[in-house]
Amino acid sequence: MESLEWNWALVYELSGEHHDEEWSVKTYQEVAQKFVETHPEFIGIKIIYSDDRSKDVTVIAESIRTAMGLRTKFPTVVAGFDLVGHEDTGHSLHYYKEALMIPARDGVKLPFFFHAGETDWQGASIDKNILDALMLNTTRIGHGFALSKHPAARAYSWEKDIPIEVCPISNQVLKLVSDLRNHPVAALMAIGHPMVISSDDPAMFGAKGLSYDFYEAFMGIGGMKADLRTLKQLAMNSIRYSTLLETEKNTFMEIWKKRWDKFIADVATK
């Protein structure tokens, strides 16, 4: 593991005391810098500030302003903003449109990484989140399960190089699909649509890392012709579409390529 990217969570003590946002980001940053001292190839950490989509628009507006302030103060650590929580019981992106326009109105660059379209129901409000996410210039689409049902949105996301975050195990656990060979992203993978593999909520599912989702994507979604090239492309996509700075991506890619070449050489000699 050469870098870490995660959605926001406040730091708390065993006593129940919660630290504020600035203290938390600064502490994360200091711990990462200390880790680099003993692991010099570690690229760094990125935090996507997030809040729950069950909250009122005024609360989310304040969260967005907080995210803007944190990104201004910690531009190399705070990567952007996301709305998390259940799409079906929470509010739509359209409901939050005024709050989500604050960064643009204030001239502050705050990338969005929206969860959108985690549904197999076409025409539902969750389904339409895909369209609003793209209209709001999202950097990535979390899940994007419904994308294949919107040809224009699919073409636009491909043209703009906006990847979907595919979560195979999560999609099975939540009953969106049972047989991954029938996963809608299988068709997108076949035509080379931008995508990355994510574990969604690994702790809730009892998973210990991302390898399990890579395995399921490779064995089920990739089809009979999936091979080492498939795994290589998915791994490279993880770097390409990460929130790392361009210089960090270039460094990471060089480190990864050397390790990949060594892996291939080891396989070839066995």
Amino acid at 251: T
**pLDDT digits 0-9 by tens, 46-83:** 999 999 999 999 999 999 999 999 999 999 999 999 99
The order of strands in the sheet holding 113-116 is 113-116, 140-143, 164-166, 195-197
5 is catalytic: no
**pLDDT digits 0-9 by tens, 166-218:** 999 999 999 999 999 999 999 999 999 999 999 988 777 777 789 999 999 99
Out of 143, 150, 183, 193, pick the active-site residue.
143
Q: What does pTM read for this prediction?
A: 0.92
Task: Please indicate whether residue 28 or residue 207 has the higher confidence score (pLDDT).
Answer: 28
Out of 118, 165, 216, 248, pick the active-site residue.
118
Taking CA atoms, 152 is separated from 141, 156, 157, 184, in Å, by: 15, 6, 9, 16
Examine the pLDDT at 6 and tell me if it is beyond 90: no
143 is catalytic: yes
Backbone phi, psi, residue 257, to 5°: -60, -40
CB–CB of 168/177 below 8 Å?
no
Q: Across the strands, what pairs with 48?
A: 7, 80
Comparing C-alpha atoms, which of 213, 228, 219, 141 is closest to residue 236?
Answer: 228
Using pLDDT thresholds of 50, 70 and 90, give the confidence band for residue 1.
Answer: low
